[in-house]
Structure 1
């Protein structure tokens, strides 16, 4: 799986974004979290995680079951008002076409 990690905003909240191409599953993933837990004693749920999105679990989704297509990833980012780094979508598209794995990229916005 590739990982693209960057800091962004979701609306007015500062967030950490982790997205990438999942080579074994042949789909993309997206996780959006607050950068630090609000309470040290409690586990913090992500603001969004494609693995928990009920829209990704339709029986008709084939290899997209539990994950996102690139247009869906862009749609979720738009729904969350995420600012994406320039070049991220193209990098994800290339990784999917080339079936890349095991690459980590840190982005700055």
Structure 2
């Protein structure tokens, strides 16, 4: 996430809180209660985002992790494409031999 995205999200979150406050005062809720409920809305949004972030970190679904995985797969695919048919057959034979040995163990 870029710095400008974080700033935009922050502005939107606070705008939601301000709109909530104005909306509550518009429908007749007194200023103190409107302030409390709009703050509760903001805290709820921030906590939900924080928990979603912790969840993404725990499950390794973050952008950096995905980019690293995609890069590693691209490098391996490029190396595989550069192999000659003889080298590829040799590697496949080694893999098959290891598979047979591991199933016998």
TM-score (norm 2): 0.25
Structure ID, larger Rg: 2
Structure with greater proportional helix content: 2
Structure number with greater CO (CA < 8 Å, separation at least 6) is 1
Structure with greater proportional strand content: 1
TM-score (norm 1): 0.24
